[in-house]
Amino acid sequence: MKAIVYPCTPFGTCVIPPSKSLSHRAIIAAALASGTSIIENISYSKDILATIEAIRTIGAKITESGTTLTIQGIGTLQDLPQKMIDCNESGSTLRFLIPLFALSEQSMIFTGKGRLLERPQSVYQELFAKQGLTFLQNKEQIVVRGPLQAGDYVLEGNISSQFISGLLFALPLLPAASSITVKEPFESASYVELTIDVLKRFGIEIMRESHNRFMIKGNQQYQAAHDRVESDYSQAAFFAVLGALHKGITLSNLSVTSKQGDQAILAILEKSGIIIDQTKENVVIHGGEVQGSEIDLADCPDLGPILMVLGAFAKGMTHIYHAKRLRYKESDRIAAMETELKKLGVEISSSEDEIWIKGSPAYQGGVALEAHNDHRIVMSLAVATTLCKKPCVIIGAQAISKSYPHFFADLERIRGKVVLQDEN
């Protein structure tokens, strides 16, 4: 599918969809509980569907009713039969479930699509090797076999937090206590906080000895719960930047007390000169002249692509650092955004870990842009195109279905104009 995105002046209120990060966590926790859980405010993106189907594969019963899931959990993972788990392109599904399914002595096979099985898994590979467990990875599948053992785990702090969260899901179910120490600098710590919060709501206690050390009691049991997923700041970021670069916008249904790391988008915009008003349920982004700034992505890597768009239209220089992990996502997001923004005429350069952008108030547009099979690239380029003088075509726009299938519809609700066409 290709999307022709036209210049526009957005106006009004955008209702932000549920958090994908929190949805994964709640669904998995509910599946591990004995009893029935209710999870409200679910959006069925491809990544969330991957987690739902993976959980069904091991015996959890899930009923969908609108945006609500009813989940009858399985209670134990000790005697799983051998299964093949299709994670599609979801890194969260894969990395959260590997340690859990390694509680069983049976081999478990994980498959996926796109770049998923090429993404680094060395953390688990090394941990499994130390315990004499099976971890085999190639381009077609990952095979793991437990049983995972309790112990003192030491992890690098500059890795994906998904590895830490995966262990936090699994270790409480072992007979003995464990600990996790994360070496400094501890990046993406906010995502670990999200995991701990969800675990607590489902009856699992994680004790925090310090900023980077966690104590996990053994013999814990997940308890069924009634949970509601809050809205997603990583998705809100696209519309927040859209409003900042145009004449403003209201984002509804956002928690002002959220622990999501991507809530950093609000502080970044304020640092760039944008005025933001917050109420209990709404965030009002006022449009204005955006100033170039220094942006640290250590705790909010998913904001990288849209912040490159922000820098492209900012006054002066924008310097983004601690960005290396963008290179190991659905695409190399630094290279992808650099390639596509240069087509618009943006002055942008990068190193392995940093990005420099010299902004300009306007670009001509009228070019064809590539999605790189990456949902965040599509949405970021769409925001950029609304500010160009001529419409642009985004090829491969169907990639949005991975996380935000209704993105273009939501853009049109605030006076955007998008025409979707088959690529054939």
CA distance 398 to 420: 10
User: b or e along 118-150 (b: 16 or more beta carbons within 10 Å of the residue's beta carbon)?
Assistant: ebebebbeebbeeeebebebeeeebebbbebbb
Q: Which of 227, 232, 302, 374 is catalytic?
A: 302
3-state secondary structure of 151: coil
Closest CA to 229 of 38, 35, 10: 38
User: And the tokens for 422?
Assistant: 């088959």
What is the H or E stretch that residue 379 is in? helix 375-385
Detail the residues annotated as belonging to a binding site for phosphoenolpyruvate.
20, 91, 119, 162, 333, 376, 402
- What are the helix (H) ranges across 79-188? 91-101, 122-130, 161-170
User: And the tokens for 305?
Assistant: 């692509």
Question: Could you tell me how far CA 60 lies from the centroid of its own chain?
Answer: 24
The percent of the chain in helix, strand and coil, each rounded to the nearest 5, is 35, 25, 40
CA distance 119 to 376: 17
Detail the residues annotated as belonging to a binding site.
20-21, 25, 91, 119, 160-162, 188, 302, 329, 333, 376, 402
User: And the tokens for 127?
Assistant: 């941990």
Phi-psi group of 242: left, alpha or beta (phi > 0 → left; psi -120 to 50 → alpha; rest → beta)? alpha
CA distance 43 to 391: 29
CA distance 221 to 249: 44
CA quadruple 407, 410, 415, 421: dihedral, nearest 10: 50
Phi-psi group of 253: left, alpha or beta (phi > 0 → left; psi -120 to 50 → alpha; rest → beta)? left
Detail the residues annotated as belonging to a binding site for 3-phosphoshikimate.
20-21, 25, 160-162, 188, 302, 329
302 is catalytic: yes
Tell me whether strands 355-358 and 368-370 are parallel, antiparallel or unpaired.
unpaired
In the sheet where 392-395 sits, what is the strand order? 368-370, 392-395, 2-5, 418-421
CA distance 271 to 248: 16
CA distance 304 to 295: 9
Q: List residues with catalytic annotation.
A: 302
